[in-house]
């Protein structure tokens, strides 16, 4: 399977899951996977929400941020992956002055 994100429309999402600011992304979504190259812009966040469809894996490409998963705070920086297991709750916040760029992969269960 080949997924070409360059042919997908970019979406701008304000206040995802009651978060702050905006994020932009392109999304592939089928019955098995949700794959999302995501940019959370400075001052933006994905609000606290339950992870219901599968394990949510977020690989940080650039920028600085934090995730809170089941009450545990994690520092996000290039080269790390934040994983929120299905059934957990989490949020992600851009803590820097630059974009927080990540690749999100959800393997649906």
Which helix or strand (DSSP H or E) is residue 70 part of?
Answer: none
Summarize pLDDT for 92-105 with one digit per residue, the tens.
Answer: 999 999 999 999 99
Q: What is the CATH number of the domain that holds 80?
A: 2.60.120.10
**In-domain check, residue 20:** yes
Average pLDDT, the chain: 96
Q: Domains in the chain: how many in total?
A: 1
Domain membership of residue 68 as a residue range: 12-108
Q: Which pLDDT score is estimated for 25? A: 97
**In-domain check, residue 5:** no
Q: What band does 10 get if pLDDT is binned at 50, 70 and 90?
A: very high
Summarize pLDDT for 29-78 with one digit per residue, the tens.
Answer: 999 999 999 999 999 999 999 988 899 999 999 999 999 999 999 999 99
pTM of the model: 0.92
**In-domain check, residue 71:** yes
Asked if residue 18 lies in contact with residue 47, where contact means CB atoms within 8 angstroms, the answer is: yes
Q: Does residue 109 surpass a pLDDT of 90?
A: no
């Amino acid at each position: 399977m080949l997924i070409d994100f360059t042919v997908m429309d970019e979406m701008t999402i304000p206040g995802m899951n009651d978060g702050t600011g905006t994020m932009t992304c392109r999304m592939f979504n089928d019955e098995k996977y949700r794959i999302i190259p995501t940019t959370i812009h400075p001052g933006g966040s994905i609000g606290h929400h339950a992870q219901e469809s599968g394990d949510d894996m977020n690989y940080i490409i650039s920028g600085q941020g934090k995730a809170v998963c089941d009450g545990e705070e994690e520092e996000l920086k290039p080269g790390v992956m934040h994983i929120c297991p299905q059934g957990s709750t989490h949020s992600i916040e851009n803590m820097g002055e630059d974009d927080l760029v990540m690749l999100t992969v959800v393997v649906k269960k």
